[in-house]
């Protein structure tokens, strides 16, 4: 089921934020969309890539789109701030 896209600056269940994203695609919150492999800067574990629960069908500039509920290598779960697009 589609859920809102994760974007640059979004937080997660660990303190920190997404620090990398695609270069040309924006969500309705005006931020660039994050993807599998983009980095989450975790204040507990340091920089970690987004690794799981990404969109199986929507890709931005190659990698799958990250979304609300995507998981980082440190176990943090992304909390999306955008409401659209759903991926």
What are the tens digits of pLDDT across the range 6-49?
Answer: 999 999 999 999 999 999 999 999 999 999 999 999 999 999 99
What's the confidence (pLDDT) of residue 2? 84
> What is the predicted pLDDT for the residue at 14?
99
The pLDDT value recorded for residue 32 is 96
| Number of other residues whose CB lies within 10 A of the CB of residue 86 | 17
In a domain, 53, yes or no: yes
Residue 64: pLDDT over 80:
yes
Domain that holds residue 58: 16-78
Of the candidates 25, 33, 30, 28, the residue with the CA atom closest to the CA atom of residue 8? 33
pLDDT at 1: 75
User: What total of structural domains would you count in the chain?
Assistant: 1
Residue 85 within a domain: no
Bridge partner residues of 47 (DSSP) = 41
By DSSP bridging, strand 78-79 and strand 71-72 are: unpaired
| Residue 50 counted as domain residue | yes
Tell whether 73 is covered by a domain.
Answer: yes
Predicted pLDDT at 55: 96
Residue 71 in domain: yes
Task: Please check whether residue 31 lies inside any domain of the structure.
Answer: yes
């Amino acid at each position: 089921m589609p859920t809102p896209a994760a974007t640059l600056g979004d937080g997660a269940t660990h303190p920190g934020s997404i620090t990398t994203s695609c270069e040309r695609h924006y969500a309705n919150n005006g931020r660039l969309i994050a993807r599998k492999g983009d980095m989450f800067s975790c204040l507990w574990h340091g920089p970690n890539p987004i690794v799981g629960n990404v969109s199986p069908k929507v890709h931005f500039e190659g990698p799958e789109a990250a979304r609300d509920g995507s998981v980082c290598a440190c176990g943090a779960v992304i909390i999306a701030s955008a409401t659209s697009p759903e991926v």
